[in-house]
């Protein structure tokens, strides 16, 4: 856990790793598609969960937005908020629900300030979660193009630009 | 602004005409008696432009906000339906919004909701299927695009004035104006804030709101309420999530003799309204006088906010646009 926290508190490192990772996956897309996303999901899910759980306390929502939320997992917020802090944050910056825990979004905001590549994405509106994807690999979901929001959802102007 | 009205309601008309708006929260009864709702509404209706029907605030169960809105619209009052994400998923909420609009509700306030752990049934399951920003966007899509989140068409769109909450007094303070920007981008037309007891903090927040140009995109109503005593103040800041009360206010109440504490609490509230009104970008106040509703009329009067406008499609029934044509058009487009 301590290594995880250290990494999270160096969000610049993480966002570079993310960019490299993203690039690598997109390069390997053709190969992975030929193998079949179902099979790849079965292989990748375990290692992905292990790695992200160690670093981010990942909850396997299957729709990772870490780079848009200051390298802080929004699903660790007890209210699962994906668009910023609720109004209940305590004056010491701790969580309304778990008083001993620092608010996930206070940390996310601080970290996003130190992220030149993706920090601005905190301002984007995240669409509602697809609960059907829970437990699956978000890397495979991304490659297979299953990240679409609900059919009626309209991204805002800023969401489109990004 | 020459935009068409988004709702048929009075709150939108008051705000758009440039008047300083007053809304007030109704204390929802723990009762199955409709007259308790009407009694509570009676003391508020003459002194405010819309009445907020809370949705199990503080995670305490009371009569539901949809039911209170139903009773209020029957009697011709203008309610604000509060919707919290804590208790219902997206399917339930979209249905409630349609039903509320059909009953004549013109305003909806979209909230995240206090957590179940602060209520008296902390063992309940928390839902939070949507968050407040996703909820705002969902209702905006229903209103403007005429579809459910699934993309399925509505035959008549709900005409609603959309509200969001804001808490300028909770950390992370630098992020709060940006979060407000996000809410406005998602669809908020008006904002009702958490209790304000700290004017300098509000001034600082509104300065950033103006820098971002948000005061021209949505109407900002400052939340206020009277404190009964210093003990009530201590209780609120200890137990009500997101309430920030500076020590100076608590001390002022502590130094007041016992029999004058209530009057002093009221005076503080009036002073805060008057100071908030001076801030550029503040368009109204939202009164939350929990268990002291009888003070609301006095506060509004002493703050110099009476009389409330009556000519703006106000107390009486609002003349509605004919919907038969809209419905016929919708029917035609769905026919093969």
CA distance B148 to chain A (A): 6
Give the model confidence (pLDDT) of A121-137 as tens digits. 999 999 999 999 999 99
Q: Does A125 touch chain B (CB under 8 A)?
A: yes
Instruction: Walk me through the domains of chain B, giving residue ranges and CATH numbers.
Output: 10-334 (3.20.20.220)
What is the SS3 string spanning chain B? Answer: CCCCCCCCCHHHHHHHCCCCEEEEEECCCCCCCHHHHHHHHHHHHCCCCEEEECCCHHHCCCCCHHHHHHHHHHCCCCEEEEEECCCCCHHHHHHHHHHHHHHCCCEEEEECCCCHHHCCCCCCCCCCCCCHHHHHHHHHHHHHHCECCCCCECCCCCCCEEEEEECCCCCCCCCHHHHHHHHHHHCCCEEEEEECCCHHHHHHHHHHHHHCCHHHCCEEEEEECCCCCHHHHHHHHHHCCCCCCCHHHHHHHHCCCHHHHHHHHHHHHHHHHHHHHCCCCEEEEEECCCCCHHHHHHHHHHCCCCCCCCCCCCCCCCCCCCCHHHHHHHHHHHCC
Q: Does A65 touch chain B (CB under 8 A)?
A: no
Give the closest of B131, B145, B244 to A154, CB-based: B145
pLDDT in tens, chain B (336 residues): 457 899 999 999 999 999 999 999 999 999 999 999 999 999 999 999 999 999 999 999 999 999 999 999 999 999 999 999 999 999 999 999 999 999 999 999 999 999 999 999 999 999 999 999 999 999 999 999 999 999 999 999 999 999 999 999 999 999 999 999 999 999 999 999 999 999 999 999 999 999 999 999 999 999 999 999 999 999 999 889 899 999 999 999 999 999 999 999 999 999 999 999 999 999 999 999 998 999 999 999 999 999 998 755 444 444 444 555 566 666 666 554
Q: Can you give the pTM of this predicted structure?
A: 0.92
Give the model confidence (pLDDT) of A38-95 as tens digits. 888 888 888 889 989 888 999 999 999 999 999 999 999 999 999 999 999 999 999 9
Give domain limits for chain A. Answer: 2-148
Q: Does A127 touch chain B (CB under 8 A)?
A: yes
Nearest residue of chain A to residue B112 (CA atoms): A86
Task: Say how many CB pairs under 8 Å bridge A and B.
Answer: 126
Contact A123 B242 (CB under 8 A): no
């Amino acid at each position: 856990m301590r290594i995880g926290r250290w990494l999270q508190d160096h969000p610049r490192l993480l966002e570079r790793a993310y960019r490299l990772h993203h690039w690598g996956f997109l390069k390997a897309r053709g190969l992975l598609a030929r193998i079949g996303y179902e099979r790849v999901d079965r292989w990748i899910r375990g290692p992905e969960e292990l790695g992200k759980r160690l670093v981010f306390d990942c909850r396997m929502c299957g729709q990772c937005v870490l780079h848009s939320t200051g390298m802080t997992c929004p699903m660790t917020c007890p209210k699962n908020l994906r668009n910023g802090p609720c109004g209940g944050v305590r004056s010491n910056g701790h969580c309304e629900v778990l008083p001993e825990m620092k608010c996930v979004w206070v940390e996310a905001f601080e970290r996003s300030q130190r992220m030149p590549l993706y920090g601005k994405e905190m301002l984007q509106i995240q669409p509602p979660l697809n609960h059907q994807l829970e437990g699956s690999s978000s890397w495979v979901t991304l490659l297979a193009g299953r990240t679409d929001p609900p059919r009626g959802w309209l991204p805002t102007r800023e969401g489109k630009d990004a | 602004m020459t935009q068409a009205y988004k709702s048929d309601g009075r709150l939108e008309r008051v705000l758009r005409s440039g008047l300083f708006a007053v809304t007030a929260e109704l204390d929802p009864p723990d009762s199955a008696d409709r007259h308790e709702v009407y009694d509570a509404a009676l003391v508020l209706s003459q002194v405010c432009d819309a009445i907020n029907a809370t949705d199990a605030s503080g995670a305490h169960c009371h009569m539901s906000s949809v039911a209170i809105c139903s009773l209020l619209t029957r009697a011709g009052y203008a309610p604000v339906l509060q919707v919290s994400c804590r208790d219902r998923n997206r399917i339930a909420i979209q249905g409630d919004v349609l039903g509320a609009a059909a009953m004549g509700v013109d305003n909806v306030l979209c909230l995240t909701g206090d957590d179940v752990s602060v209520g008296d049934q902390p063992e309940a399951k928390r839902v939070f299927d949507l968050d407040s920003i996703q909820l705002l966007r969902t209702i905006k899509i229903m209103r403007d695009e005429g579809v459910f989140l699934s993309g399925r068409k509505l035959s008549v769109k709900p005409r609603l004035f959309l509200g969001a909450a804001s808490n300028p007094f909770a950390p992370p303070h630098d992020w709060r104006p940006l979060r407000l920007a996000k809410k406005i981008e998602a669809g908020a037309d008006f904002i009702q804030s958490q209790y304000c007891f700290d004017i300098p903090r509000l001034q600082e927040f509104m300065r950033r709101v103006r820098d971002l140009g948000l005061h021209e995109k949505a109407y900002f109503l400052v939340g206020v309420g009277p404190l009964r005593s210093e003990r009530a103040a201590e209780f609120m800041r200890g137990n009500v999530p997101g309430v920030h009360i500076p020590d100076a206010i608590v001390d002022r109440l502590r130094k007041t003799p016992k029999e004058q504490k209530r009057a002093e609490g009221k005076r503080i509230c009036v002073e805060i309204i008057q100071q908030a009104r001076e801030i550029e970008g503040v368009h109204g106040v939202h009164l939350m006088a929990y268990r002291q509703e009888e003070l609301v009329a006095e506060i509004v009067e002493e703050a110099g906010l009476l009389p409330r406008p009556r000519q703006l499609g106000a107390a009486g029934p609002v003349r509605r646009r004919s919907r038969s044509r809209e419905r016929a058009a919708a029917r035609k487009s769905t026919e093969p």
